[in-house]
A and B are shown apart, each in its own frame.
Chain A
Amino acid sequence: MSLLLFTVLGRLHGLLGVLALALLAHPVLSKRNLRLWERGAIGLIAAAGLSGMVIYPAYRRLHKPDLLERAPDVALAFEWKEHVAAFALCLALGAALAEGALAKRLLAGALAAGLLVAGLGVWVGSVSAAR
């Protein structure tokens, strides 16, 4: 994967993640049963996860060794983001099949994990660009 494609897909990955969180917040915070919103948000979470997995091998090859060399703490924070993202994906996929209160609870967990993922992603992106 070229650096340009990696950059474009990386931006797309971040955009999909933020959109997924924005869409997810509505059904989680609302007391109404917004199944269509939930499904849309789950689809976006899956798309964000998939795009992250597509660019992950290139990240390991192009950026991770350099990041580990220059800023190991930032690289480890990025590792943490990956792990929490896997949790968010598990909870969102479970919510896709669950219904009622359980679906809402799983989505709330996915939203909490997603917010942490987004925060870590933004922080790591800004810090690694600055160093």
Chain B
Amino acid sequence: MPAADPRRSAAAGVGALTGVVSYAVQRLVDLVTAPDVGPVLAQLTIPYFWRCAFALLHAILAGMLCYLAVREPDEAAAVERAVLGLVWPVLALGVLAMGIWP
């Protein structure tokens, strides 16, 4: 079924995938750079919340950029097709990457 607003749909898909990738990358960076779990637990700020907030911010920015950059319906359809094909690989890689424990 064709989307009523293909630009918005494509932007939402790009935003969702960007959020997943952003969270995964932030977590993997934390694995390398964060201190041991003891000091992390003693922190007043919670890394999980920061990661979620930044992932949301990145998702909104990427979605907005996509919405502004994609003008024509056929461009939006191409972006939508690309996102459709990327959902499962990105999710699977993200889930596997998060399973890599320190």
Q: Taking beta carbons and an 8 Å cutoff, which residues of A are in contact with B?
A: 33, 53, 56-57, 60, 64-65, 68, 76, 79-80, 82-84, 86-87, 89-91, 93-103, 105-106, 108-109, 112-113, 116
**Cα–Cα, bound, A98→B81 (Å):** 13
Interface range on chain B: under 10, 10 to 19, 20 to 34, or 35 or more? 35 or more
Interface of B is mostly: helix
Q: Known: A84-B95, A86-B52, A100-B3. Is A94-B84 also a contact (CB below 8 A)?
A: no
**Set of chain A residues within 8 Å of B20, measured between Cβ atoms:** 87, 90-91
| A98 lies within 8 A of B1 (CB) | no
* New A-B pairs, 15, CB < 8 Å, besides A99-B4, A109-B87: A83-B24, A84-B98, A86-B48, A86-B52, A90-B23, A93-B59, A94-B12, A94-B15, A97-B15, A99-B8, A100-B1, A102-B80, A102-B83, A109-B91, A116-B95
- Chain B nearest CB from A74 CB (Å) reads 12
**Cα–Cα, bound, A87→B16 (Å):** 9
